[in-house]
């Protein structure tokens, strides 16, 4: 996708964050000017912004501001040809400790952007980053333990995952704020004709991810293991997520923009699907293979709203947007491990750990 004859910029809110910077990178690589709107409050994201500017120079226009600053946001959005709304408070734990801030960032901030675009003379496409947490804890999905993971008893759910017909059921302040924002985006498409689509993501991982215990758990597990520090498992570790490489997520966001006539007014589940469904225990075992040593695991109780099982049924997104197959999770995790090790030891960027890790990362 090239910029073509439209020289107006694209706005990426949260554009220095993990997924946002990867979207900005792909846009700039195709010749688009990108406004990277980010408050830079998350530790480490300034490195992502530096990376974007080093790679793309004048095509990257940073705006260091809060999504709750309505005037700054409206000014940033006044001439853009499209917007990707990635800015958010992203941790369930933070939403529980400060629900008001979670609300103002995730809901008020989203409304600020929607109104800025609604007031434009021409329709401006927006693609919104939502979450699988809009479906609640999925406590009614009957599960059984099979080996080192939970699997659904229902063969259809087991084979395909959770689709968009699943009733919404917001749990935790984070689920409420993101879920309400999700619904506002869809209603602005319905009530005002705003060309808007919603992407309800499962667990995305990949390069440029600064994972923490509260958000970005795949990278967090890898970082702890690489640094030979213990990993804390909340719950029993049999819980399952369908993890997806960020390259596939970026493809989905760009495809939703390119095909906004088909995607507008709709919400799509996005994850790795059943083929990339992995339990926390399975991921730790794979990490041990990659780094060539055992990982120390500590245990804590379940956290509020934690789903024991979520795998996205991605058929709607694939049928509508024509997406490529997902990167196999073992391959993608090995690539992330290699990137994380290189980030932590630039002088050893070619020596990414054990021979097994190096071989798989090169695959």
SS3 at position 269: strand
Looking at residue 213, its pLDDT comes to: 66
The Cα–Cα gap between 180 and 190 comes to 15
Residue 59 near residue 33 (C-beta atoms within 8 A): yes
Domain boundaries along the sequence of the chain: 88-362
SS3 at position 122: coil
The Cα–Cα gap between 151 and 202 comes to 17
Looking at residue 352, its pLDDT comes to: 41
Residue 208 near residue 26 (C-beta atoms within 8 A): no
Q: Which of 37, 135, 150, 174 is catalytic?
A: 174
The conformation of residue 81, written as its DSSP 8-state character, comes to S
Question: H/E/C letters for each residue in 23-73?
Answer: HHHHHHHCCCCEEEEECCCCCCHHHHHHHHHHHHHHHEEEEECCCCCHHHH
pTM of the model: 0.92
Residue 313 sits at φ, ψ, to 5 deg, of -85, 110
Active site residue 188: no
Q: CA gyration radius for the chain?
A: 20
SS3 at position 161: coil
Residue 181 near residue 130 (C-beta atoms within 8 A): yes
The Cα–Cα gap between 44 and 38 comes to 12
Nearest to 254 by CA among 317, 340, 175: 317
Encoded tokens for 247: 């390259």
Neighbour tally for 149: CB within 10 Å: 18
Nearest to 102 by CA among 153, 6, 175: 175
Encoded tokens for 148: 């080192």
The Cα–Cα gap between 310 and 29 comes to 33
Nearest to 49 by CA among 210, 205, 200: 210
Neighbour tally for 352: CB within 10 Å: 25
Looking at residue 176, its pLDDT comes to: 96
The Cα–Cα gap between 144 and 304 comes to 21
Tens place of pLDDT per residue across the chain (363 aa): 556 578 899 999 999 999 999 999 999 999 999 999 999 998 889 999 999 999 999 999 999 999 999 999 999 999 999 999 999 998 888 999 999 999 999 999 999 999 999 999 899 999 999 999 999 999 999 999 999 999 999 999 999 999 999 999 999 999 999 999 999 999 999 999 999 999 999 999 999 997 776 678 899 999 999 999 999 999 999 999 999 999 999 999 999 999 999 999 999 999 999 999 999 999 999 999 999 999 999 999 998 778 999 999 999 999 999 999 999 999 999 999 999 998 876 534 444 445 455 444 443
CATH of domain 88-362: 3.40.50.720
Quick one: CA torsion of 210, 234, 246, 288, rounded to 10 degrees? 80
């Amino acid at each position: 996708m090239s910029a073509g004859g439209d020289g107006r910029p694209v706005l990426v809110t949260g554009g220095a964050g993990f997924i946002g910077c990867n979207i900005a990178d792909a846009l700039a690589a195709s010749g688009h000017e990108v406004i990277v709107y980010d408050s830079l409050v998350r530790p480490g994201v300034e490195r992502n912004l530096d990376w974007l500017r080093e790679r793309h120079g004048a095509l990257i226009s940073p705006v260091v501001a809060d999504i709750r600053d309505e005037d700054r946001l409206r000014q940033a959005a006044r001439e853009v040809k499209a917007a990707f709304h990635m800015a958010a408070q992203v941790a369930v734990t933070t939403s529980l400790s400060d629900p008001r801030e979670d609300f103002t960032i995730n809901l008020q901030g989203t409304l600020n952007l929607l109104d800025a675009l609604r007031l434009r003379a021409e329709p401006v496409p927006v693609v919104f980053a939502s979450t699988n947490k809009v479906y609640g804890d999925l406590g009614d999905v009957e599960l059984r333990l099979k080996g080192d993971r939970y699997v659904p008893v229902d063969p259809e759910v087991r084979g395909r995952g959770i689709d968009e017909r699943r009733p919404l059921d917001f749990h935790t302040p984070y689920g409420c704020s993101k879920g309400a924002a999700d619904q506002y985006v869809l209603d602005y498409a319905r009530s005002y004709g705003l060309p808007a689509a919603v992407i309800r993501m499962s667990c995305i991982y990949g390069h440029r991810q600064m994972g923490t215990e509260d958000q970005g758990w795949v990278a967090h597990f890898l970082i702890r293991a690489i640094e030979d520090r213990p990993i804390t498992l909340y719950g029993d570790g049999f819980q399952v997520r369908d993890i997806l490489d960020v390259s596939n997520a970026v493809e989905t966001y760009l495809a939703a923009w390119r095909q906004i006539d088909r995607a507008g007014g709709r919400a799509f589940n996005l994850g790795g699907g059943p083929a990339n469904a992995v339990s926390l225990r399975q991921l730790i075992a794979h990490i041990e293979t990659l780094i060539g040593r055992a990982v120390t695991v500590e245990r804590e109780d379940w956290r509020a709203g934690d789903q024991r099982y979520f795998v996205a049924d991605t058929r709607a997104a694939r049928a509508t947007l024509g997406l490529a197959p997902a990167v196999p999770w073992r391959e993608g995790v090995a690539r992330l491990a290699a990137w994380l090790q290189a980030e932590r030891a630039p002088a050893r960027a070619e020596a990414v750990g054990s021979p097994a890790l190096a071989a798989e990362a090169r695959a």
